[in-house]
Structure 1
Amino acid sequence: MNLSGMPQADLQSINVDVPGNGYYPALSTAYFIEHYAVAQEYASKSALLVEKLKRAQGEINQELEDVQLTHGEPLNAQQVIFYNDAVYSKAKAHLLVSKLGSTHRDSATAQSQTAIDNYAHWQSQSINALRLLQSLSPNLSVELL
């Protein structure tokens, strides 16, 4: 069940993997649906979920472009958690903006305010996870004088 109390679709039948680039891990639509409470109306739209994940993945990868997280080795388990959280949270924020465009006019004001609040929450979650990931870089250090 999702947060709305509605039964979820069979996640394995709609799972699509979004490949990583070898350095960053692959993403999964089933994981996104299950762990980020994706609305049922989007859960069955694999192409839309893949698009949002790829967009978020590109934005996070661009943010991390100048940060060396490891010395050429794969990310460790903690880094993978923060990376996934940054990407999935940003994808969730993008998904909420998509929902704004599909609401009915009579209830648009209340729903848009709620969606904007949720969008801001998920954007801040993504930024927070990104900053936590960047702080794990072996090249960032403080020198005491």
Structure 2
Amino acid sequence: MNLSGMPQADLQSINVDVPGNGYYPALSTAHFIEHYAIAQEYASKSDVLLEKLLYAQAEINQELANTQLTNGQTLSAAQALFYKRAVYSKAKASLLVSKLGSTHRDSATAQSQAAIDNHEHWLRESINAMRQLQGLSPNLTVELL
């Protein structure tokens, strides 16, 4: 069941894996649906979820392009956790903005305000996860003046 109390679609039948590049971990639409309370209207559209995940993944990878998180090894378990949180949160925020355009005009004001608040929340979650991930880098140093 999802948060609305409605039965959820079979996650395995709609699961699409988003491969990592060997350095960053792989993602999955089933994990995204289950752990980030994706609305049923999007949960059954694996192509929409895949698009949002790929876009978020590309944005996060671009933001991390100049950050050396490890010394040529794969990410640690904690780093992988924060990486996934950053990508999934950014994708969730993107889905919430998409939902703003699909609401009916009579209830759009209240729904759009709630969605904007949620959108900002999920963007903050993504940024916080990025900061945590970057904070785990063994290459960060502080120089005393």
Q: TM-score band, normalised by the shorter chain?
A: over 0.9
TM-score, length of structure 2 as denominator length = 0.98
Partner of 1:124: 124
Partner of 2:45: 45
1:137 aligns with 2:137: yes
Q: Distance in 1 between matches of 2:144 and 2:114?
A: 46
Correspondence list, 1:1-145, <5 A: 1-144=1-144
Shift of 1:142: 2.3
Shift of 1:21: 1.0
Partner AA of 1:108 in structure 2: A
Q: Which runs of 5+ in 1 are unaligned?
A: none
Partner AA of 2:37 in structure 1: A
Runs of 4 or more consecutive aligned structure 1 residues displaced over 6 Å after TM superposition: none
Shift of 1:17: 0.3
Partner AA of 1:44 in structure 2: S
Aligned pair count?
145
Q: Distance in 1 between matches of 2:37 and 2:139?
A: 35
Partner AA of 1:55 in structure 2: Y
Q: Which runs of 5+ in 2 are unaligned?
A: none
Q: How big is each residue's C-alpha offset from its partner over 1:103-142, in whole Å with a ceiling of 9 and x where there is no partner?
A: 0011111100000000000000000000100111111022
Q: Distance in 2 between matches of 1:101 and 1:73?
A: 42
Helix, strand or coil at the partner of 2:129: helix
Q: Distance in 2 between matches of 1:131 and 1:23?
A: 18
Identity of aligned residues (%): 79
Partner AA of 2:127 in structure 1: I
| Deviates further, 29-38 or 1-10 | 1-10
Shift of 1:144: 4.8
Partner AA of 2:104 in structure 1: H
Q: How big is each residue's C-alpha offset from its partner over 1:60-113, in whole Å with a ceiling of 9 and x where there is no partner?
A: 001100000001111010000000000000000000000001000111111000
Q: Distance in 1 between matches of 2:52 and 2:137?
A: 27
Q: Distance in 1 between matches of 2:127 and 2:64?
A: 12
- Taking only aligned residues, the RMSD between alpha carbons, in angstroms, comes to 0.9
